[in-house]
Chain A
Amino acid sequence: MGVTPSVTLALVDSTPYRLRYLMTATGQPGFTTLPNALGVTPDLRTDAQAGALSSVGSGAPLLEVLGIAVADQAGARRLLLGDVVASAAPLLPGGLHARAKITPRNRGGLVGWAVDADEGAAAGDPASAGFGVYVIDPPTNAAGGEEAYLDIHLSHSEISSE
């Protein structure tokens, strides 16, 4: 039996421009990786493909961004968090990137969530090697049951003002 992750992620909405996950803290310590390996959901490219298939001919813009290779954490932060300080060189023309936003859902989930990005293997997920992954930290000393939504937006797209 595998180790229980610190956060469980469930895809609750997918569009060509945005993925929404419900995050639930389990009470276990440590961080949890949202992989990008075309594995079973939750997985960034798998879930973005689901959003693309549901579009009305508008293609797969978020999937295209998530499928760009990254060499290191700076590249992952540039591509997945829009952190232009981390890596000066844009990975896509026009600097297109994704970004992440957390919206707590219950009182337990009010405080303490954090999301970062890293290269998959460096984050401890060899199946995601060469691609960017999100690294999620639940609230400190979480007892389990703390909830929040994680939105992965494409920049300059719906409900994304940057």
Chain B
Amino acid sequence: MALTAALVEATPDRLRYLLTQDGVVTSPTNPDVDGLVVIGNDGSPTPDLLTDIQSAAGGSVSGLPLKTPIDAGRNGVAAVAAGALTQAGARAVLLSDDAANILGNDLTPRAVCEVTSREDAVVQFAVDANVDGSANPVLEVRSSVGNAGTGYLDVHLRHTLDL
């Protein structure tokens, strides 16, 4: 696969992934094949949001604040029942984008995602949130295609310094 994500750091408040675009393109070019990776959330081998937050050093299950928004689909969040999260809800809990007023309460824990290219604008990255078949929130990372390059994706818990 042309775009991959690898966990490089895990803390109770933040996950950092190294994004690698190898520059290889299919023929005919399909950006959603060559420049898309989905970070799942079902306990599969890393990269997986649930697996990766549980790997955070020193964290017991009860001591992993970032796990709360990651579990929003499994446990439900605000008025959304378990197993009923939609893309709007995924964007609210993983991107702090609650334009649809899903969460209804500003104190509901949520994450913020940022991407940073590591080389000088050779490859660009975008991150969106969606849900998988079990209504768990997942991250869709897209990149430009045709050139090789790397970057970082940070998934932060909102209101934390966690430098």
A and B assemble together: yes
The answer for the CA separation of A20 and B95 in the assembled complex, in Å, is 10
Interface string of B88-114 (1 = CB under 8 A from A): 000000011111000000110000111
| CB atoms of B142 and A107 under 8 A apart | yes
Whole-angstrom CA separation of A158 from B111 in the bound complex:
12
Which residues of A lie under 8 Å from residue B35 when comparing CB positions?
107
B142 & A151 in contact (Cβ 8 Å cutoff): no
Known: A12-B98, A20-B97, A22-B99. A158 touches B158 (CB 8 A): yes
- A161 interface residue (CB < 8 Å to B): yes
Which residues in B have their C-beta under 8 angstroms from that of A10?
99
Task: Say which residue of A101, A151, A158 sits within 8 Å of B159 (CB atoms).
Answer: A158
Asked if B160 and A13 sit within 8 Å, CB to CB, the answer is no
Count of interface residues, chain A, beta-carbon cutoff 8 Å: 25
A134 at the binding interface (Cβ < 8 Å): no
Contact B160 A158 (CB under 8 A): yes
Given A104-B124, A107-B35, A149-B95, 8 further pairs, Cβ under 8 A: A20-B96, A22-B97, A54-B106, A103-B127, A104-B142, A109-B126, A159-B114, A159-B162
**5 pairs of A and B residues whose beta carbons are closest in the complex:** A104-B126, A13-B96, A54-B106, A12-B97, A110-B124
